[in-house]
Chain A
Amino acid sequence: MKRLYLHLMVCSVLFSPQVAIAESTIYRGATVHTLGPAGTLENATVVVRDGRFAAVGADVELPSAAGSGSSEDRVIDASGKIITPGFFSAMGQLGLTEVSGVDGTVDYYQTGERFSASFDIAEAYNHRSTLIAVNRAGGITRALTAPAPSYWEAGASSQVFSGLAAVVQLGERPDFVAERQAAMVVSLGEAGSAVSGGSRAAAMLALRTGLDDAVDYRRNKGYYERGQRREYSLSMADLEALQPVLAGDTPLLAHVNRASDIEALLKLAAEYRVALIIYGGAEAWMVADALAAARVPVILDSKSNLPSTFDALNARLEAPAILVAAGVAISFGANWQNETYAARNIAQSAGNAVANGLPWMEGLKAITLSPARMYRVDDRYGSIEVGKEADLIVWSADPLELTSNPEQVMIRGELVSLQNRQTLLRDRYMQIDSALPPAWRR
């Protein structure tokens, strides 16, 4: 019965998309993990209007129209349900690939030498990718989609500056790119060494030289354009792309695992006054205090506990708990490109961190509010607070549990379809009684 009801809800949104603008959607009676100052509210009401949270609380007075039942407002009895903010994947390549083994579908790295820092993947983002619908059915409503740092798989000719990442929203209506230039991806450590001539010192030098050149370019732009300035290590487009990094507006998202490399980066970040985010961070827990003091967040793999490389000799399962206890903000995403397909597994990442000592609410925060803060979009989303864009998930069980499924996913105030290519395949092949071959089954 409930299933049918939800199905009808979804259909009404699908077939009359314009109606949603004026009306309110009101959830009543749920346990709401707001991730905002209000904390967790029991038996609470959430009012969504014009794509935003209009009211959130235990004693919300319903809009008069809803109270009288005379308007188009939808009042949803969510008693016994759990409502969380939409999940935010802090790293991955959503919308930049269909099949990573099929080159023509892969847009998350480039090996040309003409551009590096200015390589802006927002230009390639495909919001119709099959991966988007699969992962929003698992509760992903926002994601950083990024150039892949130069893993060995990506070929050795990509550069220390991988390019610009964007925050995207996984809803069904534009604008799909929510924030361009959300991070500048760079590769240090082993991967950086591989693309810089064989030493991590050379990778640091490339990074430093690029930043120095960008400073010089800013100060002497007129001379540069008249050809009266020395040559730079990067193109003009790259030097332009680095300006918001130098201004502290776009963080450097550095792929790095080894503790000593993180320490070297912390020094560099302080020197240039750039904002830094660590991605990988297998040994970040060993320098947790320094990271906390510098307010540098870490995107890490909560399941990594093996010395997969010499950069990760000291990987351990307690890393998320240690970092958070030291005051470091953490989050989870795809740990390498192919995990993008299962971006929704960030809930599993959070659950495993909790199993190894992270407080439960910190686990939820790591996949909602923390990434929004890292990319400086927490004024718009990441928590259920009045005025923020209404991304939420309705659950009937613990959202971090492996057997839990989102019952409803709302993005910017609209319930999105949970149907995707995988559910279509499933439904086709579960019809075992059909006399027709699969191609005739709908």
Chain B
Amino acid sequence: MKFAIIGVGVFVLLLGACAHERPASTNGEPLPYASSYRPLDSVATLLEGATVLTGTGQRLDGADVLMRDGKIFAVGGGLDAGDATSVDASGMWITPGVIDVHSHLGVYASPGVAAHSDGNEMSKPVTAEVWAEHGVWPQDPGFVAALAGGVTSIQILPGSGNLIGGRGVTLKNVPGRDVMDMKFPGAPHGLKMACGENPKSFYGGQGQSPMTRMGNVAGYRAAWIEAADYRDEKAAAEDGTGEAPTRDLKLETLAGVLDGEILVHNHCYRADEMSLMLDVAREFGYRISTFHHAVEAYKIADLLAENDVCAAVWADWWGFKMESYDGIRENAAILDRAGACAVIHSDDEIGIQRLNQEAAKVMGAAAQVDLQIPPERAIQWITRNAAKSLGILEQTGTLEPGKMADVVVWDGNPFSVYTRVERVYIDGALAYDRSDPELNPVSDFSLGTAAISGGAR
């Protein structure tokens, strides 16, 4: 069933958008590295008569979603369109925009050639000074492909070769001319940390520390000791009781974590290692937002719930290395049952396009052991809980009034393999419409390829 456009003017929205305007500092100069994201132009829109999964755990049948001024204005039955453009969404399902907390789009861009390898600064085991956003290529064709999969916000992380790999950045999935045009306004930075095999095998293989898991933990602790000193020296300077330290990019980032401004995203497969990382966090007084690739999270679901730490997992990646050998499909469902914050992530430019399908596989597996996960609950794994993980739940992640109108319209139940994304709204603006070639964005790289006729979809 196709959309019937009742109102007018929907198709001209994108013209004239994307002016490159940076927020200015007090002296009038643009602030360096500040978000210059500006939503695409939008009109007030009423999506009518759909099955709505709100992201708050509710399912509303035959409901409407009203978007106004780029925000969710109201969700419910029989809403009055007023001056809004009405869109018949009967037969459709509506969800919050999909959020991927773990992507390397832009830093490991397609095509995956050596020249595009910008995600792992493996020159030393702690590189907290690097920022993923300084390696993101906005022309990665993966961004628009992810948009066609309903993805509206993405965290781009450095890779996992290092103990501490650098800052991650959260983007609105509206590719611009540079990464600052995509930067999610107000989203905190992430800090990528990595447990286990990757750092110790890379550096150990070169005869350097860390060579063992012991070395891994010693490496984190040494970094946090330095960071705590740096933070204390800065505080003393501000109090006038000491001299300000020389500015240090690495320690600035780590101190940002200790101050609670930067969220820790910790690649960690094994249950015992996650538990140990909670000890490291306690020792230095920081919080871990999310364990990523938490293949064994189901073994400590209670612990994760108690500590209010999210676990971002795949549906069924397992076995490719020792620390992934105990992966099971029910992982997210067992976390969910324990009241922990379960997130499905991709870490993959193909997987990001169908996070809904990954969630569906978990639902199917869980049902075999009588863990029934209804759609209104599973959708939270790729919307609300992901927003919580990234510290952007106040702004997006659910369809609550006042939040950014990041909305996906699906042509059926999003947990069916046959369902496709019909439309994607980002900040209330129609950014993707499957049936309208004008609203199928194409990266520079893909010009002249089959992407034009629908390849990158």
Contact = CB atoms under 8 A, between A and B. Distances in A.
Contacts of B320: 99-101, 338, 341
A294 to B, nearest CB: 22
Contacts of B445: 307
A306 B328 contact: no
A313 B455 CA distance: 9
A429 B369 CA distance: 12
Interface in B47-90: none
Given A341-B316, A403-B364, 7 more contacts: A306-B110, A306-B456, A307-B141, A316-B453, A342-B317, A352-B417, A422-B318
Closest 3 CB pairs of A and B: A351-B417, A101-B321, A403-B364
Interface in B16-63: none
Interface string B273-284: 000000000000
A429 B334 contact: yes
B142 A316 contact: no
Given A306-B350, A432-B302, A354 B454 contact: no
A181 interface: no
Contact of B329 (A130, A354, A422, A432): A422
B240 interface: no
A401 B145 CA distance: 23
Contacts of B420: 355
Interface in B283-321: 298-299, 301-302, 316-321
A316 B440 CA distance: 14
A290 B63 CA distance: 50
Contacts of A438: 299
Contacts of A304: 350
Interface string A241-284: 00000000000000000000000000000000000000000000
B318, B320, B450: which has the most chain A beta carbons within 10 Å?
B450
B117 interface: no
Nearest to B329: A422
A405 B364 contact: yes
B328 A425 contact: yes
Nearest to A304: B350
A123 to B, nearest CB: 22
A286 B449 CA distance: 11
Given A348-B417, A429-B298, A305 B456 contact: yes
A435 to B, nearest CB: 14
Interface residues of B, number: 56
B111 A310 contact: yes
Contact count band on A: 35 or more
B450 A315 contact: yes
A401 B302 CA distance: 31
Contacts of B110: 306-308
B187 interface: no
A89 interface: no
Interface of A: 98-102, 130-131, 286, 303-310, 312-318, 338, 341-342, 345, 348, 351-352, 354-355, 400-405, 422, 425-427, 429-430, 432, 438
Nearest to B453: A316
Contacts of A405: 364-365, 367-368
Contact of A306 (B145, B325, B415): B145
19 contacts: A99-B320, A100-B319, A100-B320, A131-B319, A303-B353, A305-B145, A307-B449, A309-B113, A316-B457, A348-B357, A352-B354, A400-B417, A401-B364, A403-B361, A422-B329, A426-B334, A427-B369, A430-B334, A432-B302
B349 interface: yes
Contacts of A401: 364, 416-417
A2 to B, nearest CB: 12
Interface string B319-331: 1111001111110
B197 interface: yes
Nearest to B349: A306
B363 interface: yes
A351 B145 CA distance: 19
A338 B416 CA distance: 25
A312 to B, nearest CB: 8
B395 interface: no
Contacts of A312: 111
Contacts of A342: 316-318
A402 B360 CA distance: 6
B449 A100 contact: no
B112 interface: yes
Interface string B345-377: 000011001100100110111011100000000
Nearest to B142: A306
B113 A403 contact: no
B141, B321, B334, B368: which has the most chain A beta carbons within 10 Å?
B368
B426 to A, nearest CB: 21
Contact of B326 (A308, A352, A425): A425
A50 to B, nearest CB: 31
B416 A402 contact: yes
A92 B197 CA distance: 25
Contact of B417 (A102, A308, A355): A355
Contact of B361 (A131, A354, A355, A402): A402
Contacts of A341: 316-320
B199 to A, nearest CB: 14
A305 B457 contact: yes
A304 B349 CA distance: 10
A345 B142 CA distance: 22
B212 interface: no
Contacts of A430: 330, 334, 369
B357 A402 contact: yes
Contacts of B354: 303, 352
A308 B105 CA distance: 12
A318 B325 CA distance: 34
Contact of B322 (A102, A313, A317): A102
A312 B325 CA distance: 31
Nearest to B298: A429
Given A304-B350, A306-B145, A310-B111, A316 B357 contact: no
Nearest to A102: B322
B455 A345 contact: no
B143 to A, nearest CB: 11
B369 A317 contact: no
Interface string B421-457: 0000000000000000000000001100111011111
Contacts of B321: 99-102
Interface in B122-175: 141-142, 145
B382 to A, nearest CB: 14
A354 B416 CA distance: 12
A12 B322 CA distance: 35
Given A99-B320, A403-B367, A430-B334, A313 B449 contact: yes
A86 B353 CA distance: 29
B365 A316 contact: no
Nearest to B330: A426
A315 B450 CA distance: 7
Given A306-B142, A348-B357, A403 B415 contact: yes
B111 A308 contact: yes
Contacts of A309: 111-113
B455 A305 contact: yes
A315 B349 CA distance: 14
A402 B417 contact: yes
B450 to A, nearest CB: 4
B293 to A, nearest CB: 13
A307 B446 contact: yes
Contacts of B451: 307, 316
Nearest to B325: A99
Contacts of A308: 110-112, 349
Interface string B189-203: 000000001000000
A24 B328 CA distance: 35
Contact of A354 (B197, B326, B365, B417): B417
A99 B319 CA distance: 5
A315 B455 contact: yes
Contacts of B350: 303-306
Contacts of A422: 318, 327-329
